Structure formats: C-alpha cells, structure tokens
Amino acid sequence: MTVHKRGFLVLDGTDPEPLARFYAALLDGTVEPSGADHDLLLISGTDGVALGIRRAPDHIPPSWPRPEDSQQSHLWILVAPEALDEAEREAVSLGARPVTAEHNGSRTDRRTDARRFMDPAGHAFVLAAHDASP
C-alpha cells in the first residue's frame, strides 16, 4: 500500500509573516499556520498552489542569477500570456524586484514570456506565460 504524500516548496526568511502575505497576495491565496511547526506558515492558492514560509533567523538571501554558475531553486508562477504585463505590475506593487539575467553578454528582454524577480526576502521567482488551453 502506498502512503499518501503531499509536497510543497518551503522558503526560508528572517521574518516569515510579511513574506507569507506577499505570496498570498501574489497567488490570490490565504495564509494559515502549519499547526505542527510554529515557525512555518502555509499559503494555499485558489488553484491549489501550496507554498510554505519558514522562520530562519540566520537566513541569507540567495544570489541569483549568476552567469558563472547554474540557477538556484526558484518558483515559477504561470499566468495567461495576455495577463503577463498585469501580473508583473502586480508583483512589483507587492514588493517584488525585477531581475535582469545576463547570458553570454546579452541582457534578457523584459518583453519575453518569462520574467525574473526577487521576492522581498531575496528568493527568485519567475512569472511565465502559459497557455492553458488544450
């Protein structure tokens, strides 16, 4: 018999409450305590997105992207192609910082279908255009 499992990404931060509110607003979700771990908050989105934010007093924000090495773990948030500009404005209004990746000397064009950001605690995420039609 297979044991039922559920997984989700957990991001560390020195102050989890504002970071949890940021992602709840960005994902149109809600923030709830995890129950078992008082340092963990859970974000549940309208489409079942699950994300955890955990208190880590010694958290050091990652440095991404760096052209000399590979990407670190990062969250991809999918939006309809026609809503990408609006999603970017929303993310920035909530406190996200745009990141320009450099690859082989050329800068990433902000008009592309994948736009890179740092959340208020320095974690990388991408807003990506995704056509959900069959």
What pLDDT does 70 receive? 59
- The string of pLDDT tens digits covering residues 85-131 is 999 999 999 999 998 755 434 444 455 788 999 999 989 899 998 87
Task: Locate 19 and state its tokens.
Answer: 């970071």
Least confident of 9-18, 64-73, 101-110, 120-129: 101-110
Within 10 A of 13 (CB to CB), how many other CB atoms are there?
Answer: 23
Q: Where are the domains of the chain?
A: 9-55, 75-129
**Residue 87 to residue 21: CA distance in whole angstroms:** 16
Per-residue pLDDT tens over the stretch 26-49 = 999 999 988 778 899 999 987 766
Q: Which residue is associated with the tokens 């989890």?
A: 16
Q: How confident is the model at residue 21 (pLDDT cuts 50, 70, 90)?
A: very high
Residue 16 to residue 35: CA distance in whole angstroms:
15
Q: CATH homologous superfamily for 75-129?
A: 2,3-Dihydroxybiphenyl 1,2-Dioxygenase, domain 1 (3.10.180.10)
Global confidence as pTM: 0.74
Strand-strand pairing, 50-55 and 9-13 = parallel
In the beta sheet, which residues pair with residue 125? 75, 117
Q: Determine the topology of domain 9-55 in CATH.
A: 3.30.720
